[in-house]
Amino acid sequence: MKILVAVKRVIDYNVQIRVKEDGSGIVTDNVKMSTNPPDDNAIEEAVKIKEAGKATEVVAISVGEEKAQETVRKALAVGADRGILVKAEGTVEPLAVSKILQKIVEKEKPDLVFMGKQAIDDDCNQTGQMLAALLNWPQATFASKIKVKEKSLEVTREIDEGLETIEVNVPAIVTCDLRLNEPRYASLPNIMKAKKKQIEQINASDLGIDTKPRIDQIKVEEPPKRKAGIKVASVEELVQKLKNEAKVI
Check residue 66 for interaction with another protein (CB under 8 A): no
Q: Which of 90, 123, 136, 188 binds another protein (CB under 8 A)?
A: 188
Exposure string of 65-93, with b = 16+ CB inside 10 Å and e = fewer, is eeebbebbbbbbbbbbbbbbbbbbeeebb
Query: What amino acid occupies position 210?
Result: D
The helix (run of H) or strand (run of E) holding residue 19 is: none
Nearer to another protein, 206 or 222 (CB): 222
Exactly one of 82, 145, 179, 184 binds another protein (CB under 8 A); that residue is 184
Strands 199-203, 82-87: pairing is parallel
Residue 206 C-beta-side C-alpha neighbours within 13 Å? 7
Contacts with another protein in 190-209 (CB under 8 A)? 191-192
CB of 103 to another protein, least distance (A): 32
Among the residue ranges 121-129, 189-197, 203-211, 235-243, the one whose residues contact another protein (CB under 8 A) = 189-197
- Tell me the closest approach of the beta carbon of residue 136 to another protein, in angstroms: 37
> Considering the rule CB under 8 A, would residue 21 count as an interface residue with another protein?
yes
Count CB-CB contacts under 10 A for residue 38: 24
Helix pair 94-108, 127-135: axis angle to 10 deg: 50
Smallest gap from Cβ 30 to another protein, in A, equals: 4
CB nearer to another protein: give 74 or 99: 74
Q: Which of residues 31-60 bind another protein (CB under 8 A)?
A: 31-32, 34
